[in-house]
A and B are shown apart, each in its own frame.
Chain A
Amino acid sequence: MATNKRTYPNNYFAWYNDDQRIAIVCEDTTSTTGERTKEKYDSYQGSDVTGGLRITYSSKYETINSQTHDLKTTGGLDSGLHSAVVCYIKSRMFEDAGDLQRAQYFKTMYDKTIRQYPSRKSGVRALSVPRL
């Protein structure tokens, strides 16, 4: 029964995705004659569940369209990366002006800031191997 499957969702449900959509499938434990699919997984057959699906994803930052918007509170960008935004804009503007040397300088600064800024705030980032 579908209700039982939701008792232990990680035993029955699974997901996969393409570029635009995410598919939710459920292990098919029935063996009805004439069933359309005989695959191990099928679409969820139980009743609708309000708020029954939660998707956590890496997202684009929020759009900035007012001078009072803060890149951290409105945009969601860590304050440590704010200087990268300035470097990116300077690079683009020098590029538009045809000054490729300065554009490259600020592009390098931008890349360096992005590369060096830690992408995780939790957990161990690398194995700690003692020197022997």
Chain B
Amino acid sequence: MTAKNIIEQIEKLFGRQSEQYMFQLINDALDDIASNKRNYSVSSTTNLEEKKRWYELEDNVIGVKRVEILDTNDRYVMIPKLADAHKLLKEDTESSDDSLK
């Protein structure tokens, strides 16, 4: 279904509407569905950098599902999540600030 189809359905009931208002509502709906369903998965790659602890997440990220590292055979291998990083790294200042990068 295209945005035009949706706008036509809405205009049948409510009459002529501003196009920008329609796009705003469509995108609001998409954001609401995304936060509820979380079924749109995207992968992105970035460089693994020396002595860099923190990597910024893009604005469109709702939740991280999987993290992989490129191994020496050029294959991506999934790595585990530290569930208790705050305990495991409690004396490590880098776990809470940007002291390295």
Contact = CB atoms under 8 A, between A and B. Distances in A.
A93 B55 contact: no
Interface residues of A, number: 71
B26 A85 contact: yes
Contacts of A71: 1-3, 6, 26, 30
Interface of A: 3, 6-10, 13-17, 20-25, 37-61, 63-72, 75-79, 81-82, 84-86, 88-90, 92-93, 114, 117, 119-120
9 contacts: A25-B85, A41-B88, A53-B46, A54-B44, A56-B65, A60-B40, A61-B34, A64-B23, A119-B37
Interface of B: 1-4, 6-7, 9-10, 13-14, 19, 22-23, 25-34, 36-57, 60-72, 76-83, 85, 88-89, 91-95, 100
